[in-house]
Amino acid sequence: MRIDVLTLFPEMFASPLSESILKRAQQAGVVGIVLANIRDFSKDKHKKVDDRPYGGGPGMVMMPGPVFDCFEHVRSLSAEPGRVILLSPQGQPFDQRKAVELSKEKRLILITGRYEGFDERIRIGLAAEQISIGDYILSGGELAAMVVIDAVVRLLGGALGDEDSSKDDSFSEGLLEYPHYTRPEVFRDMKVPDVLLSGNHGEIEKWRRSQALERTKQTRPDLLKDNPPEDQ
């Protein structure tokens, strides 16, 4: 997969992309991530990329010119058109189903903004879909793009240490995960549940299922309302 990111703050991506799974996926050639600085495409002598909103009101709006020019440059770097995504609180909710869907693409082009948001002609002119990582307001789309990149790349074949472990994740079966334990058997008077030490794999499976279901009922009952998770 190729992921292009259009941003005013490419340096924000350095550390998340250079650790752990994202680092290894890039080293292995499973994904190539290319950052483009929107400000490099400003035609203004002060490198301006935002302006005041028509109709008045607070804040500034991302100008269409630099984003279009940056986009056209980036798109020309590869023949694959890719799926164009604006990170925005106005977007479709990002969830594990969407991560799985995006993980099947050959190319993603993520566009991140600052200020109050994008001139509407960016979304329309670039035929971009909008994705939101949640119902809260960030100071920019960069962290949202990193969330999307992380959730997508860990699903790519060869990116994960253990291929199977993403099948067991919370949400991959539409439920929260069961509780995990490792050594020692007793820690500060808290004991590992006996069933996990029993060696009885049938009983262990049953216990994990019931724990997952109980946690989901308690914390996320919304997940139990007919949302069958898509196949991985």
The set of catalytic residues is 89, 116, 154, 169
In single-letter form, the type of residue at position 162 comes to D
CA–centroid distance for 157 within its chain: 17
Choose which of 134, 158, 179, 193 interacts with ligand 4HQ (CB under 6 A): 134
Handedness of CA 43, 46, 52, 54 (dihedral sign): negative
Nearer to ligand 4HQ, 140 or 229 (CB): 140
Measured CA distances, 94 to 8, 164, 200 (Å)? 22, 23, 38
- State the CB neighbour count (10 A cutoff) for residue 119: 20
165-224 residues near ligand 4HQ, rule: CB under 6 A: none
Nearer to ligand 4HQ, 89 or 229 (CB): 89
88-127 residues near ligand 4HQ, rule: CB under 6 A: 88-89, 113-114, 117
Q: How many residues bind ligand 4HQ (CB under 6 A)?
A: 15
Nearer to ligand 4HQ, 63 or 175 (CB): 63
Instruction: Return the closest-CA partner of residue 171 out of 94, 105, 110.
Output: 94
Least distance to ligand 4HQ, CB of residue 127, Å: 18
Site track for ligand 4HQ across 50-89, x = CB under 6 A = -------------------------------------xxx
Instruction: Return the closest-CA partner of residue 122 out of 40, 55, 66.
Output: 66
The CA R_g of the chain, rounded to the nearest whole Å, is 22
Chain contacts with ligand 4HQ (rule: CB under 6 A): 87-89, 113-114, 117, 132-134, 136-138, 140-141, 144
